[in-house]
């Protein structure tokens, strides 16, 4: 899973499904991602793109351009499947408004229970989770055809690349690790351009998993994950009003 690079938007602006372009330093950020993927796959890569030689089975992307542009830049010769389920949380009436200009009577209920309370005209975190996880589960089941459990215990299939957003990535990581959504912003600190590799392990369907690799409820299999890249920027992102948020300092969508 790959989070989009820095979007072209001023700090302090609320955005979710607004179709923002990428920032001016897109190429330098994309180059870092390219090198990390090259090191991880050990495949044939050109100077500025990944050559699809069977190392990546499928490329999925949010239809928002900050994700599509990165996917197309890294995989110019690949068919990219866009999935609406991979869009960021819908911020409704708050889209593209300065956080500190949104009335507190609107933001306070949401910040007290952002998992369940919907943004006016938009989604709650649970709404986001409920559209993402069925899609993810379907992709996992579709991909997990060939396995080599006898020798490695790892489901062998061509890797899938997913270009998406912070909220979507946190939803998936919460799902495969059993992390409560309310804790996911503190548990999973995700920066622009981060890369997370998820590996599906095989096992006895009756196995409940382990604390390190818990079995999920809606997807057969046990998963492990790890960061290939997660570079903290010099300036923190802002995805909340200036004070009083329950998100904490690590909140990033």
In the chain, how many domains are there? 1
User: Is 66 part of any domain?
Assistant: yes
Say whether 99 sits in a helix, a strand or coil.
helix
Q: Is residue 119 part of a domain?
A: yes
Asked whether 68 and 80 are in contact (CB, 8 A), the reply is yes
CATH number of the domain at 152, please: 3.40.50.1240
Q: Which residue has the higher pLDDT, 174 or 50?
A: 174
Q: So what's the pLDDT on residue 213?
A: 44
Residue 242 belongs to a domain:
no
120 and 102 Cβ atoms separated by less than 8 Å: no
The answer to whether residue 247 is domain-embedded is: no
- The residues, any chain, with a CB within 8 Å of residue 26's CB and separated by 6 or more, are 5, 6, 69, 70, 73
DSSP assignment of 141-198 equals HHHTTSB-TTTTSBB----EEEEE-HHHHHHHHHHHHT--GGGHHHH----TT-EEEE
pLDDT in tens, 88-115: 999 999 999 999 999 999 999 999 999 9
Residue 240 lies in a domain: no
Task: Answer yes or no: are the C-beta atoms of 5 and 70 closer than 8 Å.
Answer: yes
* Predicted pLDDT of residue 162: 97
- Are 208 and 21 a contacting pair, CB within 8 Å? no
Assigned domain for 54 exists: yes
Q: Supply angle C-alpha 131, 136, 137, rounded to 5.
A: 105
More confident residue, 221 or 168: 168
Q: Please tell me the pTM assigned to this model.
A: 0.83
Question: For the segment 122-139, what is each residue's pLDDT rounded down to a tens digit?
Answer: 999 999 999 999 999 999
Within a domain: 243: no
Confidence of residue 47 (pLDDT cuts 50, 70, 90): low
pLDDT at residue 251 in the model: 43
Residue 91 domain boundaries: 2-229
Range from 2-16, 28-42, 178-192 carrying the lowest mean pLDDT: 28-42
Band of residue 235 on the pLDDT scale cut at 50, 70, 90: confident
31-40: per-residue pLDDT in tens? 999 999 888 7
What radius of gyration do the chain's Cα atoms show?
18
Q: 16-46 in b/e burial notation, b at 16+ Cβ within 10 A?
A: bbbebebeeebeebbeebbebbeeeeeeebe
Token pair belonging to 64: 């928002």
Q: Give a yes or no: residue 214 inside a domain.
A: yes
């Amino acid at each position: 899973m790959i989070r989009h690079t820095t979007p072209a938007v001023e700090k302090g602006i609320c955005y979710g499904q607004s179709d923002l372009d990428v920032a001016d330093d897109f190429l330098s950020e994309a180059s870092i991602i390219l090198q990390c993927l090259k090191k991880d796959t050990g495949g044939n890569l050109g100077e500025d793109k990944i050559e699809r030689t069977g190392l990546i089975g499928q490329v999925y992307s949010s239809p928002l351009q900050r994700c599509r542009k990165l996917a197309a830049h890294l995989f110019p010769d690949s068919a990219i499947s866009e999935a609406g389920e991979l869009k960021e949380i819908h911020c409704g009436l708050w889209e593209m408004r300065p956080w500190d200009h949104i009335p507190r009577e609107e933001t306070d209920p949401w910040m007290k229970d952002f998992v369940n309370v919907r943004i006016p005209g938009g989604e709650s975190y649970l709404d986001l989770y409920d559209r993402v996880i069925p899609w993810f589960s379907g992709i996992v089941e579709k991909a997990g055809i060939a396995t080599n459990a006898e020798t490695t215990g790892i489901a062998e299939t061509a890797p899938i690349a997913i270009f998406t957003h912070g909220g979507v990535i946190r939803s998936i990581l919460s799902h495969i690790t059993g992390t409560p959504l309310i804790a996911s912003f503190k548990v999973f600190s995700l920066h622009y351009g981060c890369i997370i590799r998820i590996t599906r392990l095989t096992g006895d369907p009756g196995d409940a998993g382990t604390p390190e690799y818990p079995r999920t409820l809606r997807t057969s299999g046990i998963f492990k994950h790890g960061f290939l890249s997660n570079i903290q920027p010099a300036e923190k992102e802002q995805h909340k009003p200036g004070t009083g948020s329950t998100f904490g300092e690590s909140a990033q969508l």
